[in-house]
C-alpha cells in the first residue's frame, strides 16, 4: 500500500480507491420513530464528487439523505450505525483512503420496539447503548491506508480536534465549530480547521463546501505516510 501511494504521487497516473461516508445514521426506536441528527450529507457527497472528478475510483457509503450522487460514483445505502460499520469494514479492505464525513449516531436504543409505542400518561424511559466507533476501528486496521476523520465541536476546537486525531490514530482531521449564528449542517459555506498527524494546522474561513472538499481531498491524498 505504501509503495502504491508513493508511485501515485510521483506519476499522478494511477487511480486511487477512495472510500467516503456521508450523512447521518438513524437508530430506530419503534417502526415509526428514530434517533438521528441534522447532517445533510453535503460534505461527504462533495468530497466523493471531487474524488470522482480527479479520476479516482469512488465508493460512497451514505446514510439517509435527500441527495443524489453523481453518475459514476458507486453508492452503498445504509440506515443505522451498525449497517454503516459493516459496509465500511467490508469496503475498507479494498480502498487506499477512507474519508469518514458521516455523522454517525453515538448511541442507539438498547431494545427496539416491534410495535409503535402508544402515548399514555406514564412517562417512557428509553435505554441507550453506545454504537461502535467505526472511525477508530478502521484506523486501527489501516496498515498504510489514509484515514480522515471529522469533528464537530462546541468548544475548544483545536484542542479537541488534536485530541481526537491522536486518540483515534488518524492521519488527518477536519474540525468545525457549532455556533448560534451559523448552521454548519445546511449552510453552503463554512469554516474548518484541518490538522494532520505531523502537526500541520491550517484554518479555512467561510469557504464553500465544494472548495473545501477539494482542499480536504488533496491534503489527504498528498500526505507523506512513508
Task: Kindly report, residue by residue over 111-127, the tens digit of the pLDDT.
Answer: 999 999 888 756 678 89
Write down the mean pLDDT value for the chain.
Answer: 89
Closest C-alpha to 20, from 53, 54, 51, 55: 51
Q: Distance of CA 106 to CAs 14, 92, 95, 168, Å?
A: 36, 21, 25, 15
CATH entry, 2-111+124-221, from 3.40.50.1000, 3.40.50.10300, 3.40.1160.10, 2.40.110.10: 3.40.50.10300
Q: What secondary structure letter does DSSP report for 94?
A: T
- 143 as an active site residue: the answer is no
What pTM did the predictor assign? Answer: 0.89
What pLDDT digit, counting tens, does each position of 131-152 carry? Answer: 999 999 999 999 999 999 999 9
C-alpha cell at 9: 504521487
**Strand 27-30 to 33-35 pairing:** antiparallel
Catalytic residue among 37, 160, 176, 206: 37
| Per-residue pLDDT reduced to its tens digit, 185-220 | 657 889 999 999 999 999 999 999 999 999 999 999
Amino acid at each position: 500500500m505504501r509503495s502504491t501511494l508513493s508511485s501515485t504521487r510521483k506519476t499522478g497516473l494511477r487511480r486511487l480507491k477512495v472510500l467516503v461516508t456521508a450523512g447521518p445514521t438513524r437508530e430506530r426506536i419503534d417502526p415509526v420513530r428514530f434517533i438521528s441528527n441534522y447532517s445533510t450529507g453535503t460534505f461527504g457527497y462533495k468530497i466523493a464528487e471531487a474524488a470522482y472528478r480527479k479520476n479516482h475510483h469512488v465508493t460512497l457509503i451514505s446514510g439517509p439523505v435527500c441527495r443524489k450522487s453523481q453518475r459514476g460514483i458507486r453508492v452503498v445505502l445504509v440506515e443505522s450505525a451498525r449497517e454503516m460499520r459493516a459496509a465500511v469494514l467490508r469496503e475498507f479492505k479494498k480502498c487506499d483512503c477512507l474519508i469518514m464525513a458521516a455523522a454517525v449516531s453515538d448511541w442507539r436504543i438498547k431494545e427496539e420496539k416491534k410495535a409503535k409505542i402508544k402515548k399514555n400518561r406514564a412517562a417512557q424511559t428509553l435505554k441507550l447503548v453506545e454504537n461502535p466507533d467505526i472511525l477508530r476501528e478502521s484506523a486501527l486496521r489501516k496498515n498504510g491506508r489514509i484515514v480522515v476523520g471529522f469533528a464537530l465541536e462546541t468548544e475548544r476546537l483545536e484542542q479537541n480536534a488534536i485530541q481526537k486525531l491522536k486518540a483515534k490514530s488518524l492521519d488527518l482531521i477536519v474540525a468545525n465549530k457549532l455556533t448560534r449564528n451559523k448552521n454548519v449542517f445546511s449552510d453552503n459555506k463554512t469554516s474548518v480547521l484541518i490538522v494532520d498527524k505531523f502537526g500541520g494546522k491550517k484554518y479555512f474561513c467561510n469557504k464553500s463546501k465544494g472548495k473545501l472538499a477539494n482542499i480536504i481531498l488533496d491534503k489527504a491524498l498528498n500526505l507523506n505516510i512513508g
